[in-house]
Structure 1
Amino acid sequence: MNGEFLQAIEQIAKEKGIKEEVLFDAIDAALVTAYKKNYGTSQNVKVTINRENGDVEVYARKTVVEVANDDLLEISLEEAKKINRNYDIGDIVEIKVTPKNFGRIAAQTAKQVVVQRIREAERSNVYEEFINKEDEIVTGMVQRKEKNNVYIDLGKTEAILGPNEQTPGEVYNIGDRIKTYVVEVKKTTKGPQVILSRTHPGLVKRLFELEVPEIKDGIVEIKSISREAGSRTKMAVYSHDENVDAVGACVGQKGQRVQVIVDELRGEKIDIIEWSSDMAVYVASALSPAKVISVNINKEENTANVIVSDSQLSLAIGKEGQNARLAAKLTGCKIDIKSESQALLNG
């Protein structure tokens, strides 16, 4: 190795954000392995790289003993004294044993180690970047499809949108740019694996945070979200400023704000209701767009008995029970809905 190699190490360290000493330590360790592999020795050796000129030197490390029984690992006190009279029993003597053609092996080994360390550093940097994006939205391009998985190009890495995280009915065409929610970032032997979702309720929450300044500023708070991806979402919001209408802020003028999110979710319906600390009021709002006559809350059993007019029953329950199901999930309360007629019959 030579000065040019040292300059290359310095440049790589700066560009990839790796400390030079980390690279040199890794190369030193690899050169020890390379030496033992090529020269078949069980010696205890140390390899050093001169940081000034790039020269590589190999030293056999031997322990000073009274009488040497293993010449590969030990040196007698008498022989050690010939090298330096200050040596004593138990000291380590380093003897230069650099082979003549070791420079070529060293250069090849060093190159392999640097390439490996660069790859590791890049993977580590990508992991550190995306671990901070968990529970956040990222925008990427659909790159390919394989075994029901959709792979999204996020620039520095490729992320995976698994079948369970894909919205029913959505079609992901190669080249499409889509927003996704980062569910998890895992460390693997092949580098970081970023798990994305289009079905997670967090996607809706983050989209509203991007679109509604009042949410980002903390004036309006998203209290709860229940979602059946691709079909419908219910979201409960609360305003910390009596002069700001929480629902109105999220809907926007002429529905512009919510429409942007509906478009991003490719037509998914979104019901925005006002959160209330009064569970009866909250449940009634959660069943919107149905109009509720009365709500009776059983706090011990965490249930709500709801009565609606006969004409509102199917709307309150929703298609295949969706409206009632989403309302129950939103409020965390088990909801039993009856029409006026049913309530009268049951006394």
Structure 2
Amino acid sequence: MAKSDLAQAIEQLCEEKNIPYEAVIDSIEAALAVAYRKESGNKMLNVRAEFNPDDGASQFFDVKTVTEDPSEEELEAVAAAEAEEQKIREERRVGRDDRRGSRHDEPREGEEEEEKRFNPKTDLGITQAKELKADAEVGDEMITELPLLDDFGRVAAQTAKQVIIQKLREAERQTLYDVYKDRVGEIVNATVHRVEGPMVYMDLGQATAMMPPAQRIRTENYSIGARFKVLLLSVEQGRRGPEIIASRSAAEMVEKLFETEVPEIGGGSIEIKGVAREAGSRTKIAVLSLADNIDPIGSCVGQRGARVQTVMNELGGEKIDIIEYNEEPVNYIVNALSPAKVISVQLDEEERVAKAFVAEDQLSLAIGKGGQNVRLAAKLTGWKIDVVNESGEDNGPVEKTDDSEEVTDEIATEASDETVVEVVDETVTGEELAADSEETPAVEEAASEDTK
């Protein structure tokens, strides 16, 4: 059977707004129910409307729940509440907003109590219910069909229009929220839509995401129209639709990019055990192979560094150190401090403090510019790390941090000028990316010479 013009118009609206067909029908039925009650003038009706989009026909019903017969006190309370509402309506008409506000707040405080009392709009006493249906019982739903009205007045029609618009907006917001709430933690393509003060608004296609300053990379320029990959950090339901927070600085961003670029990670052969990041400057990532025949570092680097270089380019040239995870804290800390060569490590299990001994010529490399290398190592391993030279000179412990924003602008500037750290032991970073693995010893010697 051919669909009516009205049904086709509803389907077109659903496609444009990306909302369910049933949501549009519910909006129309809610609007018709409000318009009927307003036009009839009977405020005690609990109207339910049924709308047929094929022929445009409507039916109206008064729906009430059977309850125990109300007491005299309940009826008096209902009458008093109705009188108070009438006063509020009169005050609104004459514009006495101050008096209306003070009186209007009082009944709202007792809303819970009013809901427990008998409500003639939604409830029907058992005695009256048995007159309509002999076998009626408390809790039953009494549905009475209402006569059709000849026409709806201008006020009722305007009210119905506002209800439809409101309901459609709510349905559209709920649809967007349902689309994005399950995508938290995903990387999506976004375009800078506008910049308002410190906030950057990113166009995701169907919705707009906000990127606060803490979620941006300091060295990047977010000009209108620029395209970026962003991580959906959180999605909350707000008054004006879903509030989506996007991030470029989160550590999870690096993890998700590697999952995309390295099939072994996506397939479960390699596991990312931890990421420590100072966005825009440097990242350390620990990986573990779950298969004996797979090299975790080599897989993440790719042939001639193709895979890690793709991730670095996406992050604006951010340096990435890839280390192998080890369950033994000593070995893990040694790996995390690379490219510096650690002689030995002493652990204080109770305080979770590690003292790493390095040669004099490796001290500055172990600490890094502005303390960045040891700071990232501490964050990655979860240990406070105290780097000392062979003579035992103490440089003070560095605690793990959870906020990459602790990096100062001076440190970030220095780090941006620093050459990408070479491959040492089991650490991989940028400058070696174009070299073959056979050249590693030469690179190690060059790293040692640079630190002297």
SS for the counterpart of 2:249 is coil
Q: Find the counterpart in structure 2 of residue 231 from structure 1.
A: 281
- Whether the 8 Å CA contact 2:343–2:358 is kept in 1: the answer is yes
In the alignment, the residues of structure 2 paired with residue 265 and residue 50 of structure 1 have an alpha-carbon distance, to the nearest angstrom, of: 54
Taking the TM superposition and a 5 Å limit, the aligned residue runs for 1:244-255 are 244-255=294-305
In the alignment, the residues of structure 2 paired with residue 253 and residue 303 of structure 1 have an alpha-carbon distance, to the nearest angstrom, of: 38
In the alignment, the residues of structure 1 paired with residue 264 and residue 158 of structure 2 have an alpha-carbon distance, to the nearest angstrom, of: 59
SS for the counterpart of 1:341 is coil
- Whether the 8 Å CA contact 2:34–2:160 is kept in 1: the answer is no
1:166 to 205, 216, 219: 216
2:193 to 143, 147, 151: 143
Taking the TM superposition and a 5 Å limit, the aligned residue runs for 1:7-22 are 8-9=9-10, 12=13, 16-20=18-22
Instruction: Indicate yes or no: 2:170 matched with 1:120.
Output: yes
Q: Find the counterpart in structure 2 of residue 314 from structure 1.
A: 364
Residues 38-64 of structure 1, C-alpha deviations (whole Å, 9 max, x = no match): 55443426364563643446677899x
- Whether the 8 Å CA contact 1:45–1:58 is kept in 2: the answer is no
Instruction: Indicate yes or no: 2:337 matched with 1:287.
Output: yes
Q: Find the counterpart in structure 2 of residue 266 from structure 1.
A: 316
- Whether the 8 Å CA contact 2:39–2:156 is kept in 1: the answer is no
In the alignment, the residues of structure 1 paired with residue 284 and residue 223 of structure 2 have an alpha-carbon distance, to the nearest angstrom, of: 28
Question: Could you tell me how far 1:8 is from its partner in structure 2?
Answer: 3.6
Q: Find the counterpart in structure 2 of residue 77 from structure 1.
A: none
In the alignment, the residues of structure 2 paired with residue 207 and residue 241 of structure 1 have an alpha-carbon distance, to the nearest angstrom, of: 21
Instruction: Indicate yes or no: 2:200 matched with 1:199.
Output: no
Q: Find the counterpart in structure 2 of residue 130 from structure 1.
A: 180
Greater helix fraction, Structure 1 or Structure 2: 2
Question: Could you tell me how far 1:156 is from its partner in structure 2?
Answer: 0.4
Give the fraction of aligned pairs with identical amino acids, expressed as a percent.
45
- Whether the 8 Å CA contact 1:134–1:185 is kept in 2: the answer is yes
Taking the TM superposition and a 5 Å limit, the aligned residue runs for 1:61-80 are none
In the alignment, the residues of structure 2 paired with residue 25 and residue 182 of structure 1 have an alpha-carbon distance, to the nearest angstrom, of: 31
In the alignment, the residues of structure 1 paired with residue 152 and residue 392 of structure 2 have an alpha-carbon distance, to the nearest angstrom, of: 93
Question: Could you tell me how far 1:342 is from its partner in structure 2?
Answer: 3.0
After TM superposition, the score normalised by the length of structure 1 is 0.81
Number of paired residues? 325
Unaligned runs of 5+ in 2: 70-78, 80-119, 122-127, 395-452
SS for the counterpart of 2:284 is strand
- Whether the 8 Å CA contact 1:27–1:109 is kept in 2: the answer is no
- Whether the 8 Å CA contact 2:24–2:168 is kept in 1: the answer is no
Q: Find the counterpart in structure 2 of residue 27 from structure 1.
A: 28
SS for the counterpart of 1:164 is helix
Greater strand fraction, Structure 1 or Structure 2: 1
Closer/same/farther in 2, CA of residues 61 and 202 from structure 1, 3 Å limit: closer
Instruction: Indicate yes or no: 2:214 matched with 1:213.
Output: no
Question: Could you tell me how far 1:129 is from its partner in structure 2?
Answer: 1.7
RMSD: 3.3
Question: Please, which moves more after superposition, 204-213 or 104-113?
Answer: 104-113
Residue 20 of structure 2 aligns with an amino acid whose one-letter code is I
Instruction: Indicate yes or no: 2:389 matched with 1:339.
Output: yes
Question: Please, which moves more after superposition, 96-105 or 139-148?
Answer: 96-105
Q: Find the counterpart in structure 1 of residue 325 from structure 2.
A: 275
SS for the counterpart of 1:160 is strand
Question: Could you tell me how far 1:142 is from its partner in structure 2?
Answer: 0.9
- Whether the 8 Å CA contact 1:293–1:309 is kept in 2: the answer is yes
Residue 346 of structure 2 aligns with an amino acid whose one-letter code is N
After TM superposition, the score normalised by the length of structure 2 is 0.64
Residues 92-125 of structure 1, C-alpha deviations (whole Å, 9 max, x = no match): 7958554433277666555544443333222222
Unaligned runs of 5+ in 1: 75-79
